[in-house]
Amino acid sequence: MAASPPGTSYMTGPVFVDTNVFVYQSDASDSEKQARAAEWCATLWRLRAGRVSVQVLLELYATLR
């Protein structure tokens, strides 16, 4: 699959965000994963396209506490 040209997006609907994305965003031990997860979450926030389930929130709480 070819990469999207700069400044374009093919995202057309809501995106379900899994627990691991939030864990990567909080994990400073891998700065590359942390930065990519933070960028992805920021993009979803800006586009108002991210979706999270209650199960993901519970898993995140259990993982990060």
Please state, in angstroms and rounded to a whole number, the distance separating the CA atoms of residues 39 and 27.
Answer: 14
Q: Looking at the 3D structure of the chain, how many domains does it have?
A: 1
Please state, in angstroms and rounded to a whole number, the distance separating the CA atoms of residues 12 and 15.
Answer: 9
Tell me the pLDDT tens digit for each residue of 19-40.
999 999 999 999 999 999 999 9
Confidence (pTM)? 0.77
What tokens were used for 49? 């396209």
Q: Is residue 10 a part of any domain in this protein?
A: no
Q: What pLDDT score does 1 carry?
A: 47
Tell me the pLDDT tens digit for each residue of 38-60.
999 999 999 999 999 999 999 99
Please state, in angstroms and rounded to a whole number, the distance separating the CA atoms of residues 45 and 3.
Answer: 22
Tell me the pLDDT tens digit for each residue of 3-22.
566 666 666 789 999 999 99
Q: Can you give the residue range of the structural domain that contains 46?
A: 15-64
**Measured in Å, how far apart are the chain's first and last C-alpha atoms?**
38
